[in-house]
Amino acid sequence: MDNILEVKDLHVSFDTYGGEVKAVRGVSFDLKKGETLAIVGESGSGKSVTTRAIARLIPSPPGRIKEGEILLDGKDLAKLKEKQMQQIRGKEISTIFQDPMTSLNPTMKIGAQIMEGLIKHQKMSRSKAKERTIELLDLVGLPNAKDRVDQYPHQFSGGQRQRVVIAIALACNPKVLIADEPTTALDVTIQAQILELMKDIQKKTDSSIIFITHDLGVVANVADRVAVMYAGKIVEIGTVDEIFYNPKHPYTWGLLGSMPTLDNDEESLVAIPGSPPDMLNPPKGDAFAPRNEYALEIDNEMEPPMFKVSDTHYAATWLLHENAPKMEPPAAVKRRMKGFAASSDKKGDKR
Amino acid sequence: MARYILQRLGYMILTLFLIATFSFFLMKMLPGSPLSSEQKVTEAQREIILEKYGLNDPVPVQYARYMGNLLQGDLGVSFQLKNQPVTDILLSRIPISAQLGLYALLIGTVLGMLLGLIAAIKNNSWVDYSANIVSVIGISIPSFIFAGLMQYYVGVKLGLLPIAFWGTWQQAVMPTIALAIFPMAIGARFMRTEMIEVLGSDFIVTARAKGLNNTGILFKHGLRNALIPLVTVMGPMAVSLMTGTLVIEQIFSIPGIGEQFVSSVMTDDFAIIMGTTLFFAFFFVLIILIVDLLYGIIDPRIRLAGGKD
């Protein structure tokens, strides 16, 4: 499969009065056509900044892409001028934002908000764009699309608004769809509907999706591959099966251990102790070491490189070095892993 | 919508009735009469005049008579100005004040919005700081200082513009500028603050993510959302500008309603004071209605709250 997007050694910093905040510190990954890549990590891990940088939506100043390449079909977005980028945004890369209550303009009819992109990128006439808008609203499952194009955002519920936001993002058939926690602000029943919708749309349009979330349940549901981010870096990347059944990084263990599931009878969830490092002064060595009970001496001295586990699975932890002591995930996480495997067998595998 | 406006008009009439009643009794509680400053009137003459205008009747009777006339559009006659009907005096003076006020309001608001927009876009640059200084000056220095300075330098020294009276466009320039500075300064400050806030909203990021250019984002998505607070302050501002400005009309000898109001107060000219007060009140409730309707036009969320259409 071809890579539609390749991110190489991306660094993003914010210049603040306190100094340079290194939010993203050398992120590399690629995205294949028709694939869904989930980026997971706790708040402040740099997952949103990474994807905003890809769409060049980082406000500058204070933010800037310090180095790295963002190759969309071979074209380096990091080097484009703002004017050229305006031709790409909404047309080749679209973004679905987290909070549908605030990401729509309250004083503009939703139809007009969807049509803007069509008129700009596809040079449609207003009447043509309106027809297409009604089609899009049908596609995202909004009933009575014909009547509803002329309504304002406050006349829609949260889930309906997120459908509108998705319709805006899909308007020009983008090659890459960035979904920045699209279900976080919705109630659980609506979350499931929106996820189903996104999977459905991906099947129909064959677009590639980068799906940011901190909900591992969502990951298991939608993603083909998973990148785990911590302190501005990808610490582990692999297919969903590899991350859920054979995680290698202690941080991934921590995330899996802290994930609530229905089908286990643990008394309590395992929390990762401590809090993420201050990105104004990222620690020397492995940024996760202070919170890591499996940390080795070398973690305080040197950052671990990406070790290859399989062709698709990489993790940045010294535990994978040939001289490192053999470590096993904690018992609770192992039980989880078994649980995941069992429940995916039960479902008879959709993948 | 029509029902909503009708309902509002009903409230307006009620408001005006209450204001008329209050003002009437307050006026009656004041000591003195239109004749108190007249030295040459004898006691007998005074009695005749008071009798003629019904000022000897009990206050409730006077009130009933005043309200009865008011319903027929009769505001009584002036005591000072040779029995001229108050309605005629108001009608000859209000258009001048309103015209001057409207010029100042339009010019001030448009310039202020532009200034505020530029300051918001160039947030924290020298452009922003200069715009800020301009608006602080405009807010803190009273308009009569600008008026006096302009009269002296532009009018007297350079002889470019007439320094007084009303009629030609040249005569309108200086009072308009003097009056426009305050609304401009206020407009600029509100516009800047609001616009910076709006430009930081999530939906602006959505608009950028669609690939729109900056001008499109600013005018299609930013401006309308920043207008509400501006309309809120500009409504009462419109009233105070268009109902005659006591100081500026005096300085430029403009025969507007503000100048008339001052001289009527000085001479205790009951009918004119009542008439002017009622006019101010009427204009004020009218502007509030217009502002409320504008809210609905600008922001659809307010439209539904106002009443079902």
Considering only CA atoms, which of B190, B179, B172 is closest in space to residue B108? B179
Cα-trace Rg, chain B: 24
What does the pLDDT read at residue A286?
A: 82
Task: Give the C-alpha separation, B21 to B34, whole Å.
Answer: 20
B170 touching A, CB under 8 A? no
B123 touching A, CB under 8 A? no
- φ and ψ of B60, to 5 deg: -60, -35
Please give the CATH superfamily to which domain B104-267 belongs.
Answer: MetI-like (1.10.3720.10)
- For residue B250, pLDDT over 80 is answered with yes
Chains A and B: how many Cβ contacts under 8 Å? 77
Query: Does B211 contact A152 at a Cβ distance shorter than 8 Å?
Result: no
A91 touching B, CB under 8 A? yes
- For residue A347, pLDDT over 60 is answered with no
Percent of chain A with pLDDT over 70: 95
Task: Convert the pLDDT of each residue in B151-173 to its tens digit.
Answer: 999 988 998 888 888 888 888 89
- Cβ atoms A294, A214 nearer than 8 A: no
What does the pLDDT read at residue B309?
A: 39
Considering only CA atoms, which of B136, B238, B125, B247 is closest in space to residue B186? B136
What does the pLDDT read at residue A37?
A: 93
B298 touching A, CB under 8 A? yes
What does the pLDDT read at residue B1?
A: 73
Average pLDDT score, chain B: 87
Neighbouring C-beta atoms of residue B219, cutoff 10 Å: 11
- Cβ atoms B108, B182 nearer than 8 A: yes
Across A193-203, average pLDDT:
84
Whether the complex's predicted ipTM surpasses the cut of 0.90: no
Helix-then-strand count for chain A, H and E: 11, 12
Give the confidence band of A263 by pLDDT, cuts at 50, 70, 90. Answer: low
- Any alpha helices (H) in chain B, and if so which ranges? 2-29, 43-52, 59-71, 86-121, 126-140, 143-150, 169-199, 202-209, 214-216, 224-242, 246-251, 257-267, 270-298, 300-306
- For residue B308, pLDDT over 50 is answered with no
Residue with tokens 């939010």: A23
Chain B: closest CA distance from residue A289 (Å): 35
Task: Give the C-alpha separation, B162 to B172, whole Å.
Answer: 9
Locate the chain A residue with the closest alpha carbon to B206: A103
Query: Does A97 contact B202 at a Cβ distance shorter than 8 Å?
Result: yes
B189 touching A, CB under 8 A? no
Q: List chain B domain ranges.
A: 104-267
Across B215-219, average pLDDT:
88
- For residue B234, pLDDT over 60 is answered with yes
Query: Does B202 contact A102 at a Cβ distance shorter than 8 Å?
Result: yes
Task: Give the C-alpha separation, A336 to A261, whole Å.
Answer: 9
Task: Convert the pLDDT of each residue in B20-33 to its tens digit.
Answer: 999 999 988 887 77
User: Could you give the 3-state DSSP secondary structure of residue A284?
Assistant: coil
